[in-house]
Structure 1
Amino acid sequence: MHDFESEHAINDALGRARLWSPFLAMILDREPVLAHSLAQGQLDLGASSAAPDMPVAKRLRLERRAMALNVAIGDLAGVLDLTAVTGALTRFADHALDTAIRAAIEERTPGAEPLGFTAIALGKQGSGELNYSSDIDPILLFDPATLPLKPREEPEQAAVRIGKRVVELLQARDGDGYVLRVDLRLRPSPEITPIVLPVEAAIGYYEAQALPWERAAFIRARAAAGDIALGQRFLDAIRPFVWRRALDFGAIGEIRGISARIRDHHSQGQAFGPGYDLKRGRGGIREAEFFAQIHQLIHGGRDRSVRAPATREALARLAEAGWIGTDESRALIDGYTLLRTIEHRVQMIDDRQTHALPTGEALDRVAKLHGLEDAGALLALLAPRVAATGRIYDALDDTARPAFSHDAVTLETDLAAAGFDEPEPARRRIEAWRSGAYPALRSPAAREALEAVLPTLVTAFATAPVPQAALLRLDALLERLPSAINIFRLLEARPGLATLLAAILSHAPTLADDLGRRPDLLDGLIDATAFEPVGDIAALEAAMRAGEVGGDYQARLDHVRRVVGELRFALGAQIVAGASDPLHVAAGYARVAEAAIGVLARATIDEFAKAHGIVPGSELVILALGRMGGAMLTHASDLDLIYLFTGDFAAESDGPKPLGATLYYNRLAQRVTAALSVATAAGPLYQIDTRLRPSGGQGPLVVTLDSFARYQREDAWTWEHMALTRARPVFGSPDARAAVTDIVRGVLEGDRPTRDVVAEAKSMRADMAAHKPPKGPLDAKLLPGGLVDLEFAVHVVQLVNRAGFDPNLGTAIDRLATEGLVPPTLRAAHDVLTRLLVTLRLVAPDAAPPGHATQELIARAIGVADWPAVVATLESTRQEVRRFWAQVTGEQDG
């Protein structure tokens, strides 16, 4: 690079380097050709006085010397920014490490491919952020199956010898200096393990024994040198160890502990001023790094966008994702950039691995090398950045929370002061927890976590709508947990989540039961997007296909169950929190179910095809009916499905174990039903109801499209045509879906037997009322004038008039109202009843009036002022629906 401005800046930097940096002045004297090029404004990061035929170690030393000079002058001149500087230094380290590995293998086994030996870069090399005097901290691994060996040599011996030679090539000093310092102490158990580890042993260690701080270290891990494919295989294998979906606030506490120990150990460098430790001091480089890593560990398991290894990029992405404030991110990035730059100046002076500001005249030298007047100007430049970083990092430390007394009288007094109207039973519950009565609370670590979170729990539960009920449900949850440590640490770190938990436990027994089975469901609520509408089908399918499960079918079933469980729990929490309209939640439940059907049906088809192939010219189609067809589910809805297949029923599959098409699809549909319903290690999914298929439970599970069409046109009963009004294809190719939709439309619009729809509907409704009475006084579905009456009435109008067809009942009502076939007010009745049904499935599944606080929640959910308004609205809505049903059927409403 060369222009007039940069030539001037480079020459100014050369002058400062000769005056204030003995190390750079020495290189300029020993590299006259390079010095001359720089004086002409020529900056060439690849320039070197090394010759290709030199011994490897000497060549690398000379390359390092030239690179250090070019990068330093470019840095001082402002031609290279911090990203360019650290990137150049990292690229050289990768090159040197790779060259040393290849040379060590070539020396021992000439001509052998450099396979089976890899270096995993950690720390600043891993993230591309090396400084001038950084150590590199690789983990060296080998594969016994591919490592080049001498005759009769054990792979373990060969690997260690190669590793020692690599370190020697890079670290040995002579008159030309050295290449890189190598620190191998970040490998597993360095005090007892060899310097190079078998890759499978390393994978086993990180899966089973690794320490919490090692997770943070691997945020910045990268396969940097040697057999890159081997290194990447290792990193892929341990990715679940680093990025956990279930949060581990223990690891975060460990990182905070490391920071506290660093502050304590380097206490002399904590105070800002001369001698301040730029790396380890309060508000220094390490605290910006730890701040980023703590938030990455919290959110990176679920949010892949924040898995950036470089500190500044990580901070920027965390802000973009909304996990940290934009102002925090900018302050930390600015501070980190300046401190790293001044750290480089300190290291340029004598090429020493130091991070502390010097004192006395030496500090003036650093300031002048940077282009400032004196030490005072440098400290003034640094002070606000250091203060801002320290302040932001300190805010993470919540160790000063108050503890609760173990004395019974004092504890009751404290509970009463916190807001418990009945402190005595709350005190007895806390004492039971402290006694370790439950397995989840028996370990000292669990009770320590309990004590840490008690202030948060007490505050949240004291202000809960029904504190004692919430506390009892929490007690039931703790009784079922194998370990309570992680949920306590999560609640301690996120007090707002404790308040939401108290509300869920107060109001929503359905969600409380879900949480008892899967406590990790609470993790998903720390994400702000949990209170936004779930994505479209494509986005949901992508989330369900994601996850490191490879081609493992069982792992895919488990992964989909985990994702669905988290999404359904979050949708329910939206209603409890008053964050969403229950109608939007109902539509969200349906999108989640449709995505699960798509992903699991496709995975099952692919798995089935391994043994039986496919039926050429044919495919499975899944038709949804009922609430699933109408795309409006509750938390507890079954899925009403019909399985169909296209093509010739006499065809045969083309796999190793061929089957006739009918048998093929019946077995496949059984597998799909199991994939959607059977409980796995990750829990249950959906209840599947296939009784709406042709001929009901007596008919085959799957029929051809032609058989389905013939049955609907010639033999189906009125109740089956009523069900067909809500039919919607949810799986199959666009052409297959269109073919099914055409059949359904043709039948509904008149291609069906002539029957007395009104009389048959009246008879069916009477039978249902006799055999399936309402659960309770709030049963918005089965009470007279409830949703079933509304559905029956609308379907009768649709079939009699051959109009207003849409699988979504609300949209169908709108279409019928436009044609003057139903009262316009019927849509509002539909919405009230649906909101009530969706909400009650969560908070009053027995359809009985709940406690006062939950009554307020229900009122809010259906958009009225209070509980009397809920009761009045339900009654008036039911009356309107009953009038409409009477009008449709010719009955007297009474």
Structure 2
Amino acid sequence: RRRGLSNNIKLGEGGIREAEFVVQSMQLINGGRMQSLQVQGLQLALTVLTQESLLPADSAAELRQSYLWLRKVEHCLQQFADKQTQLLPTDTLDQKRLLWSMDIENYPTFQKQVQHHCQRVHRQFSLLIRETSPTEKTLIDDHQQAAQDIWLLELNTEETQNLLVHWDVSNESHFFTAELGLSVHKQLTDFKHNLIKKRVGQRGLDTLNRLMPTVISLVLSRSEDTDPKPLLERVLIVFTAILGRTAYLQLLSENLGALKHLIKLCAASPWVTAQIARFPLLLDELINPAELYQPIQLNEYKDQLRQLLLRVEPEDLELQLETLRQFKLSQQLKIAAADITGVLPITEVSNHLSQLAESILHQAVDLAWGQMEAKFGVPVCETQGPMSIQNKGFAVIGFGKLGGWELGYGSDLDLVFVHNCVGNQETLGAKATESIKFYIKLAQRVMHILTIKTGLGLLYEVDMRLRPSGNAGLLVCHIDGFASYQMDNAWTWEHQALCRARFISGDTPLKIQFDKIRFNTLSKPRVLKDLAIEVVEMREKMRTHLATGDSTQLDLKQRKGGIADIEFITQFMVLAYTEQHPALAKRTDNIRILEDLAKFALLTNQEARRLTEAYLTFRNKMHRLALQNEKWAKATEELTKHQANVETIWDKYLQNLIA
């Protein structure tokens, strides 16, 4: 535009180059994760973009049609003089030649067609590469000079403070303090010194010098609702992580919307900041805010992950592991963004995190099976015959937060593996092994997939202590052995854990068997007082060993009247009354168990409501603490009131029973 190329069908607005930029930009953004986009040629790339639903079919058709029309014009122009040119002719003879070649009646008609095709291309270009709006321009212009001086000039502390004073007065924001000036100066000075150690190339430095004044301006402009000191620190943590990755710096430099979303997320959560700094590929998610703050539907996690893995060659084990981790990180960021902005209520946040984990577990088992089958062949069972990936005879049971649909950010997974293969015949493979050993190796492989650290971290920490006999037991046990242990040898606290156990992945026959075992165990007749004594003793042991905090810094889980007390109340009720009310065994999440307890008049409606309100309040607060990388909650009147209500109900149904 600066060079006055309006008459150039290649380099002008809406010309051939803009059509190429649209396609190439989308290839660069998505091609790292989609091998199908790693192709040459605009037309082939357009076809793939349409197939992958990255570009609407009608947009692709418009772009292809206009691109081919403009290329035909370009070919005609180059044939006239046998040289590289894309300039439309100004002399009459060449104009007539062009009209004859393009089969168009007159030059005004030709010019209208040029305008039509260029407008269509530029429309697609503008949709992808949005220019700064007037509102954004005003914001930047008001602050840009001061921000540029703060970044580009070698200022001392006093000079930085003076600039901030001027900024403060001119914008009537009244947030400036001498402490802030000192902090901004020190943080930026340290960051500049760090550039020398990082050996950032000239291209990266040029991009950073264009970008940082805008960053400083946006960070300080959020001062009304955010303390700029920790916000600037968090943003610089991310920038330090990507200094050697010029592509990410350019993404933020050229996309003001993405930069704003980064700053918004950093302002909301140091946990999110740390995730982005550790895994910069998450910056790709900032490009499309419509998807960033709107997680996929609960029933879509498994299918989306399955489709992603279908694009990976079965032999590429490393890429399979990375694909699982990329999926978890990107989806977890979307859930956190929706949580931060209030799009998802607390129960939905946990549902999404739990469903995400479930989809990953399902695929981890399938991947592990494929690897074991390739090495050892399939196991053979006396009653079922040869097994297969569709009929594995293997299942994953989720306990704790996963079983109760209550996963949080950073939660580990409490898992138990079971199988129903009878007999110990050798597998059908070149490197045969005993069938029981096959299932042990399968469980080990699943654990390996979940817990091995790659460049994108591990998937989940896994706790297997709830399996029969705990850490002394086999990694995977036969379903009959699991049943025998639960009915005859398990402690009461293990039956409490079974209240929150849920079938996660496996064959239908195993699910039927597990559900029956769970119901039979939970519905065993029990002496109410003896049960209460054991539950109270276990709760007191937990509180003694695990509770932290004090009267001002509250441990919302282990403190008296906290989350664990509510969980123990519901578990006591399920174990005590499932024999009379079998429906109590259907639920694994505390909220719906409390609803059932009120329905069966085992709790009053008021008691169930108070426990539910306390539970949701505590969990919501714990999610917020996790996002802030904090452990304890500050004591408030609301939290203290909820704790008192829980203590009253605990005393009524448990403590008074054993008095």
The TM-score bracket by the shorter chain reads: 0.7 to 0.9
SS of equivalent residue, structure 2 residue 503: strand
TM-aligned CA deviation for residue 321 of structure 1:
5.9
SS of equivalent residue, structure 1 residue 706: helix
Counterpart position of 1:108: none
Question: Which amino acid in structure 1 is aligned with residue 618 of structure 2?
Answer: L
Contact 1:510 1:842 in 2 (8 A): yes
Pair 1:732-2:491 in alignment: no
Residue among 669, 675, 681 paired with 2:443:
669
**Deviation sequence 1:754-781 (CA, Å, 0-9, x none):** 9822221111111111111144634332
Q: Distance in 2 between matches of 1:814 and 1:339?
A: 67
Q: Percent identity?
A: 24
Question: Which amino acid in structure 1 is aligned with residue 155 of structure 2?
Answer: A
Residue among 430, 455, 460 paired with 2:213:
455
Pair 1:561-2:325 in alignment: yes
Q: Say if 1:558 and 1:379 are closer, same or farther in 2 by CA, change over 3 A.
A: closer
Q: Say if 1:505 and 1:712 are closer, same or farther in 2 by CA, change over 3 A.
A: same
Q: Distance in 2 between matches of 1:594 and 1:730?
A: 6
SS of equivalent residue, structure 1 residue 590: helix
Q: Distance in 2 between matches of 1:305 and 1:657?
A: 35
Q: Say if 1:640 and 1:423 are closer, same or farther in 2 by CA, change over 3 A.
A: same
Instruction: Describe how 1:253-272 pairs up with structure 2 within 5 A.
Output: 270-272=5-7
Contact 2:529 2:657 in 1 (8 A): no
TM-aligned CA deviation for residue 457 of structure 1:
1.2
Counterpart position of 1:809: 590
Residue among 284, 291, 302 paired with 1:529:
291
Residue among 440, 448, 452 paired with 2:198:
440
Q: Say if 1:876 and 1:312 are closer, same or farther in 2 by CA, change over 3 A.
A: farther
TM-aligned CA deviation for residue 624 of structure 1:
0.7
**Deviation sequence 1:19-71 (CA, Å, 0-9, x none):** xxxxxxxxxxxxxxxxxxxxxxxxxxxxxxxxxxxxxxxxxxxxxxxxxxxxx
Contact 2:397 2:415 in 1 (8 A): yes
TM-aligned CA deviation for residue 721 of structure 1:
1.0
Q: Say if 1:374 and 1:700 are closer, same or farther in 2 by CA, change over 3 A.
A: closer
Contact 1:441 1:447 in 2 (8 A): no
Q: Distance in 2 between matches of 1:466 and 1:615?
A: 60
Contact 1:612 1:656 in 2 (8 A): yes
Instruction: Describe how 1:55-454 pairs up with structure 2 within 5 A.
Output: 270-272=5-7, 277-302=8-33, 310=42, 314=46, 336=67, 339=70, 355-358=86-89, 359-364=91-96, 366-367=98-99, 374-383=106-115, 386=118, 389=121, 393=125, 403-404=148-149, 405-408=152-155, 417=167, 421=176, 422-437=180-195, 439-440=197-198, 442-454=200-212
**Deviation sequence 1:278-311 (CA, Å, 0-9, x none):** 3343432222232332234224545789889656
TM-aligned CA deviation for residue 348 of structure 1:
9.6
TM-aligned CA deviation for residue 723 of structure 1:
0.7
TM-score, with length taken from structure 1: 0.60
SS of equivalent residue, structure 2 residue 656: coil
Question: Which amino acid in structure 1 is aligned with residue 16 of structure 2?
Answer: I
TM-aligned CA deviation for residue 623 of structure 1:
0.8
Counterpart position of 2:271: 510
Root-mean-square deviation over aligned CA pairs: 3.9
Pair 1:575-2:339 in alignment: yes
TM-aligned CA deviation for residue 555 of structure 1:
3.5
**Deviation sequence 1:167-195 (CA, Å, 0-9, x none):** xxxxxxxxxxxxxxxxxxxxxxxxxxxxx
TM-aligned CA deviation for residue 435 of structure 1:
3.6
Q: Structure 1 stretch 797-806 or stretch 344-353: which is displaced more?
A: 344-353
Contact 2:528 2:576 in 1 (8 A): no
Q: Distance in 1 between matches of 2:560 and 2:636?
A: 15
TM-aligned CA deviation for residue 599 of structure 1:
1.6
Counterpart position of 1:846: 631
SS of equivalent residue, structure 1 residue 624: strand
Q: Say if 1:747 and 1:310 are closer, same or farther in 2 by CA, change over 3 A.
A: same
Counterpart position of 2:405: 631
Q: Distance in 2 between matches of 1:564 and 1:664?
A: 28
Pair 1:616-2:616 in alignment: no
Question: Which amino acid in structure 2 is aligned with residue 808 of structure 1?
Answer: D
Question: Which amino acid in structure 2 is aligned with residue 553 of structure 1?
Answer: L
Pair 1:832-2:605 in alignment: no
Residue among 569, 589, 592 paired with 1:793:
569
**Deviation sequence 1:601-651 (CA, Å, 0-9, x none):** 222233233443332137322111111111220012111111111122544
- For the pair shown, the structure with the greater C-alpha radius of gyration is 1
Question: Which amino acid in structure 1 is aligned with residue 215 of structure 2?
Answer: L
SS of equivalent residue, structure 2 residue 636: helix
TM-aligned CA deviation for residue 469 of structure 1:
0.9
Q: Distance in 1 between matches of 2:637 and 2:57?
A: 46
Q: Distance in 1 between matches of 2:423 and 2:497?
A: 26
Q: Distance in 2 between matches of 1:484 and 1:794?
A: 51
TM-aligned CA deviation for residue 653 of structure 1:
3.6
**Deviation sequence 1:44-102 (CA, Å, 0-9, x none):** xxxxxxxxxxxxxxxxxxxxxxxxxxxxxxxxxxxxxxxxxxxxxxxxxxxxxxxxxxx
Counterpart position of 1:782: 558
Q: Say if 1:649 and 1:516 are closer, same or farther in 2 by CA, change over 3 A.
A: farther
**Deviation sequence 1:359-410 (CA, Å, 0-9, x none):** 3144256447767653234324434654675587586578x98654314167
Q: How many residues are aligned here?
A: 602
Pair 1:818-2:599 in alignment: yes
More helix by share: 2
Q: Distance in 2 between matches of 1:634 and 1:775?
A: 20
Residue among 337, 348, 367 paired with 1:603:
367
Question: Which amino acid in structure 1 is aligned with residue 9 of structure 2?
Answer: L
Q: Which of 1 and 2 has higher RCO (CA within 8 Å, sep 6+)? A: 2
TM-aligned CA deviation for residue 585 of structure 1:
2.0
Residue among 326, 337, 351 paired with 1:587:
351
Counterpart position of 1:888: 653
Counterpart position of 1:193: none
Counterpart position of 1:874: 639
Question: Which amino acid in structure 1 is aligned with residue 108 of structure 2?
Answer: G
Gaps of 5+ in 2: 382-386, 388-392
Pair 1:501-2:236 in alignment: no
Counterpart position of 2:384: none
Question: Which amino acid in structure 2 is aligned with residue 727 of structure 1?
Answer: A
Q: Distance in 2 between matches of 1:693 and 1:462?
A: 53
Q: Distance in 1 between matches of 2:371 and 2:52?
A: 39
Contact 1:621 1:645 in 2 (8 A): yes
Question: Which amino acid in structure 2 is aligned with residue 519 of structure 1?
Answer: P
Q: Distance in 2 between matches of 1:766 and 1:821?
A: 24
TM-aligned CA deviation for residue 459 of structure 1:
2.5
TM-aligned CA deviation for residue 685 of structure 1:
2.0
Question: Which amino acid in structure 1 is aligned with residue 344 of structure 2?
Answer: S
Counterpart position of 1:37: none
SS of equivalent residue, structure 1 residue 891: helix
Contact 2:495 2:522 in 1 (8 A): yes
Contact 1:312 1:333 in 2 (8 A): no
Pair 1:519-2:280 in alignment: yes
TM-aligned CA deviation for residue 791 of structure 1:
0.9
Q: Structure 1 stretch 598-607 or stretch 472-481: which is displaced more?
A: 472-481
Contact 2:23 2:45 in 1 (8 A): no
TM-aligned CA deviation for residue 652 of structure 1:
4.2
Q: Structure 1 stretch 358-367 or stretch 465-474: which is displaced more?
A: 358-367
TM-aligned CA deviation for residue 593 of structure 1:
1.3
